[in-house]
Structure 1
Amino acid sequence: MSALTLKPEHVLGLPPMDDIHHEFMRLLAALDDAPDAGQLPVLDALLAHTEAHFAQEDVWMDASDFPPMHCHRGEHERVLEVLHEVRRLAAGGDHGIVRTLVRELPQWFEHHASTMDTVLAEHIAATGYIAETTLDGLVTT
């Protein structure tokens, strides 16, 4: 059983964002636990969730007029490029690349959550914008 979970210091006090982050980590843990032959469906679920997750944050950034939205979006775009490339390689039988993703993505997420997502959550709170989960495809806990 994977030890990957959302760390308390990455719970940002914005329930819709926190729920999305919990689900992201749950899917990473499921990918960590998946045998090689079962990686693709879990990777597909993680990819679909991450696309919806980032799209939801885009909605919040646009609606709250978040000043550094372009930098934040740029990180999301790079991560999605990596996820799509890992998916392509995994479909060709490269299970090791998925294991590398499972090791590396949580480190990126910890940094992203404690910097960019923290600033976004604080901005949303300061502006009084009511962040809600508005996109289909987001499974939250």
Structure 2
Amino acid sequence: MESNNVLECEDIPQVAMDAMNVVHRDELNIVNQVNVAIVANDSEKITTLCQEWLAHTKAHFERENGMMEKYNFPAYHCHHGEHIDALNGLELVISAWESSYNPDDLAVYVRDAWPKWYVNHISTMDIVTSAFIKQSMENE
């Protein structure tokens, strides 16, 4: 049976902090569920999962931004800026879905734009950030 996952857990890089890895896997699981709902053309499930995804992403970014501020992460503004852009993009796509219930744009975002961004963001921003924060915590 073919998987409807947009990414597998093995596809996302691991970072220095286990808690961040758990958050990344949790978000991936939500996005994979969104894609399954898109394939099933289950509008109600898509809407519910998109709201869960948005809430999870906001909480994820708020925690990460808070840790970067607490430990004076040098690239905070760059990393935080990516969070702002990603959250704005997600809100826009979900808003478009809730206005039209046409899954086409959401499907492109879920299957193409988001996976590329997610892997790149973790590979570049989160790997460096988590190593810095972990070291800072150990030095407290």
Normalised by the shorter chain, which TM-score bucket? 0.7 to 0.9
Q: Gaps spanning 5+ residues in structure 2: where?
A: none
- Structure 2 partner of 1:62: 69
Aligned residues: CA RMSD: 1.6
* Aligned counterpart in structure 2 of residue 76 of structure 1, from 78, 83, 89: 83
What is the alpha-carbon distance in structure 2 between the residues aligned to residue 118 and residue 55 of structure 1?
17
* Distance 1:58-1:129 versus aligned 2 partners, 3 A rule: farther
- Structure 2 partner of 1:2: 4
Larger fraction in helix:
2
Structure 1 position 102 matched with structure 2 position 115: no
The letter of the residue matching 2:31 is L
User: In the TM superposition, what whole-angstrom CA distance separates every residue of 1:57-110 from its partner, at most 9, and x where no partner exists?
Assistant: 011101111011011011111111111111111012221111011121011010
1:128 Cα deviation from its structure 2 partner: 2.8
Quote the sequence identity (%): 27
* Distance 1:66-1:49 versus aligned 2 partners, 3 A rule: same
- Structure 1 partner of 2:125: 116
SS in 2 for 1:10: coil
1:27 Cα deviation from its structure 2 partner: 0.6
Structure 1 position 23 matched with structure 2 position 32: no
Q: Gaps spanning 5+ residues in structure 1: where?
A: 131-141
> Residue 5 of structure 1 contacts residue 22 of structure 1 at CA under 8 Å; is this kept in 2?
no
TM-score (norm: length of structure 1): 0.85
- Runs of 4+ aligned structure 1 residues displaced above 4 Å come to none
> Residue 64 of structure 1 contacts residue 129 of structure 1 at CA under 8 Å; is this kept in 2?
no
What is the alpha-carbon distance in structure 2 between the residues aligned to residue 44 and residue 125 of structure 1?
31
Structure 1 position 128 matched with structure 2 position 128: no
Q: How many residues end up aligned between the 2 structures?
A: 130
What is the alpha-carbon distance in structure 2 between the residues aligned to residue 112 and residue 91 of structure 1?
27
Structure 1 position 14 matched with structure 2 position 21: no
